[in-house]
Amino acid sequence: MNKSAFIIPLIVALYASSADAQFIEGFTGEVAADGAVTTGNTETTNLGFRIKLATATEQWRHSFKSSAQYGRANGSTNKSRYDLGYQLDRDVNDRMYFFGNADYFSHDFGAFKQGHYLGAGLGYQALEEDPARLRLEAGLGYRSQKSRLQAGNPLGVASTTKTELASRFVSDFDYAFNEKVSFRNDTELLYSNSDTFITNESGIKSKLWENISLLASFRVENHSEVPDGREKTDTISRLGVVYTMK
């Protein structure tokens, strides 16, 4: 039996239940283009694109995120990295909500080449008044990730795929210094028996004009367990332009 079986119906049911409600017209979100430098398993320079979209009704919220990076690793090898995510929220009250979420990644370099997470949980808006906003989430689901060959040993242990129960914890913090400058810090912890994956990304956004802003960010990704010869920690430093849709 597929270990994700109990999660899939929950997300489908949440989505179907929200179909009766009418979405507000349009979406809010961001579209970004940036240059990035990575360290860890590879030293790369990249061109990246990211998009975040959200739409909502009185009780439901749909959010989608996607990113792609293209570049060169160690001066010669082409590199690509893709991430996709979707989340459906259902409000319980003014601060608390249930959610179902699905995430997928495909990375040409790093300890793991591809994987996904499918889960559900409970969220809480701990701070919701400007200038500070803090969102906390805790969930349970199933995680699958495919490892790479041992570095420098293509004839060594073959790549393996592990699918297992995992718990997920998220903290999203935003702070507006003024109308033009804001700070954000996003942390995610994904725990399972075989590996604990922690990401943290901090960024400063400065408004240039109208809906256009400059964004500088730094991201750290850490796996507790990786194949032999692979680095546990990768970093991504980004500088780019963001268009905000309101």
Walk along the chain (246 residues) and give the pLDDT tens digit of each residue.
444 444 545 554 555 455 444 444 578 999 999 999 989 888 888 899 999 999 998 889 999 999 999 887 666 667 788 999 999 999 999 999 999 999 999 988 778 889 999 999 999 999 998 899 999 999 999 999 998 765 555 544 557 888 999 999 999 999 999 999 999 999 999 999 999 999 999 999 999 998 999 999 999 999 999 888 889 999 999 999 999 987
Who contacts 82 (Cβ-Cβ below 8 Å, separation ≥6)? 66, 67, 68, 69, 105, 106, 107
Cβ atoms within 10 Å of 148's Cβ, excluding its own: 22
Pairing of the two strands 233-245 and 132-147 = unpaired
For residue 2, tell me if it sits in a domain: no
Burial 31-52 (b: 16+ CB within 10 A, else e): ebebebebebbbebebebebeb
The confidence score (pLDDT) of residue 220 equals 97
The confidence score (pLDDT) of residue 4 equals 46
The confidence score (pLDDT) of residue 20 equals 43
For residue 193, tell me if it sits in a domain: yes
Provide the token pair at 87. 């989340």
Check which CATH number belongs to the domain holding 19 and give it.
2.40.160.40
Query: What residues form DSSP beta bridges with 239?
Result: 35, 216
pTM: 0.84
Tell me the torsion sign for CA atoms 207, 212, 214, 220. Answer: positive
Provide the token pair at 117. 């997470």
DSSP structure class, residue 119: E
Cβ atoms within 10 Å of 93's Cβ, excluding its own: 7
For residue 76, tell me if it sits in a domain: yes
- Structural domain that includes position 239: 7-245
The confidence score (pLDDT) of residue 88 equals 98
Which residue spans within the chain are E strands per DSSP?
A: 28-39, 44-56, 60-73, 77-91, 96-107, 112-129, 132-147, 161-176, 181-191, 196-209, 212-223, 233-245
For the chain, how many structural domains are there in total? 1
For residue 1, tell me if it sits in a domain: no
The confidence score (pLDDT) of residue 228 equals 82
For residue 109, tell me if it sits in a domain: yes
Of 32, 8, 24, nearest to 61 by C-alpha is 24
Provide the token pair at 4. 């994700």
